[in-house]
Amino acid sequence: KGSVHRICAGQVILDLSSAVKELVENSLDAGATSVEIALRGYGKECFQVIDNGSGISPSNFKVLALKHHTSKLADFPDLQSLTTFGFRGEALSSLAALGSLTVETRTRNEPVATHLSYDHSGVLVAEKKTARQVGTTVTVKNLFSNLPVRSKEFSRNIRKEYGKLISLLNAYALIAKGVRLVCTNTTGKNVKSVVLKTQGSGSLKDNIVTLFGISIFNCLEPLSLRISDGCKVEGFLSKPGQGSGRNLGDRQFFFVNGRPVDMPKVTKLVNELYRGSNSQQHPIAIMNFTVPTGACDVNVTPDKRKVFFSDESSILQALREGLQQIYSSTNA
Ligand code: ADP
Ligand code: MG
């Protein structure tokens, strides 16, 4: 029974970045204005997401990490439409199955916080009082340690996994307005370094400047396109000839309704059109698609990262025309 769950859990939590992604989204869902991601050994030994959100009420302690437990069925209609096939209420249960899960939490109705430990089946096995501000800390140690093959892969690819995670955290740091985001990594004998830090400003522009610097921001131009009824895309793109010669994907971020996603076809299109203006370079691209429920449907892969529009060809065509116009007018 346990192993069946472990196999299923492996489909939601594919790697380090999908694990941390779930926790960060939980913190944002809980209304946090400060989210800290603390890694130990690049996340292999331990990762922790510490927030100042609503906290978890005691009535949820027992069921928190059980499969399909969620307190948010009616929340986030846009996200709901993004995740038609569910996996709602699977993050904590999957993390319990795949690593060692503890939670520290306190709502504003509680005078003290509670420290909770769960076993691999998501059953609450220990509970004690502790000191903490209002909010939640979720800690996962030794992710994948009970899946020998996956664990070996994880060790072998740790730098790559870590790089993917940092890129994902950059995406949240860019898009999360009014949320202070910090990521630290502790290695060796307690050497802790700050990997990423934003102030929780109110605008995408400020976040770009904080994360990438003003000189990079000055190479960008704002983007705002209506792509179909109710669907639009806003963000920033490299001005012609000012793209980065760095690794493709390094500074390309795509969002649907403010959630970081991969959009392979859009990525390909943006690169292709940009190359038309300069064959050597890749553009920096930060694009947020606003997709109201029903206006244009999106499909997702089980890990919720890859997103495809149902009406892909007409949306890509509209995007192509809009981008071509931008590049031809700024070239002139
Ligand atoms: P889901 O997010 O789909 O509801 P999860 O397994 O990610 O499922 O989380 C289960 C439940 O635990 C959530 O519905 C929420 O009630 C609670 N929860 C998890 N993380 C947090 C957090 N950081 N702050 C407040 N509540 C949380
Ligand atoms: Mg969740």
Token duo for residue 75? 């929340």
Phi and psi angles of residue 113, each rounded to the nearest 5 degrees, phi first: -90, 165
Residue 329, pLDDT > 80, answer no
90's CB contacts (< 8 A; 6+ apart) are 9, 12, 67, 68
CATH topology of domain 219-331: Ribosomal Protein S5; domain 2 (3.30.230)
Residue whose token pair is 């959009």: 263
Single-letter amino acid, residue 276: G
Token duo for residue 55? 């906290």
pLDDT at 63 (0 to 100): 93
Beta bridge partners of 173: none
pLDDT at 288 (0 to 100): 94
pLDDT tens profile 55-100: 999 999 999 999 877 776 544 444 444 443 335 678 899 999 999 9
How many Å lie between the centroid of ligand 2 and the Cα of residue 23?
7
* String of DSSP letters for 78-121: HHHHHTTT--TT-HHHHHHHHSEEEEEEE-TT-SSEEEEEE-TT
Ligand 1 and 30: CB distance under 6 A: yes
How many Å lie between the centroid of ligand 1 and the Cα of residue 270?
35
What's the distance, CA 207 to chain centroid? Answer: 16
Q: Whole-angstrom Cα distance, residue 32 to residue 240?
A: 38
Query: What is the ipTM metric for this complex?
Result: 0.98
pLDDT at 6 (0 to 100): 47
Domain definitions of the chain by residue range: 2-197, 219-331
The residue whose CB lies within 8 Å of the most ligand 1 atoms, and thus the one to mutate among 13, 27, 29, 57, is 29
Strands (E), 131-212: 135-141, 180-187, 191-197
Token duo for residue 129? 């009082």
CATH topology of domain 2-197: Heat Shock Protein 90 (3.30.565)
How many Å lie between the centroid of ligand 1 and the Cα of residue 87?
12
CA 22 to ligand 1: nearest atom? 7
pLDDT tens profile 43-56: 999 999 999 999 99
How many Å lie between the centroid of ligand 2 and the Cα of residue 269?
31
pLDDT tens profile 189-233: 889 999 999 988 878 999 999 999 999 999 999 999 988 777 899
pLDDT tens profile 145-158: 988 998 999 999 99
Mean pLDDT computed over 14-38:
92
Nearest-10 Cα torsion for 84, 88, 93, 95 = 70
Ligand 1 and 122: CB distance under 6 A: no
CB atoms within 5 A of ion ligand 2 belong to 26, 91
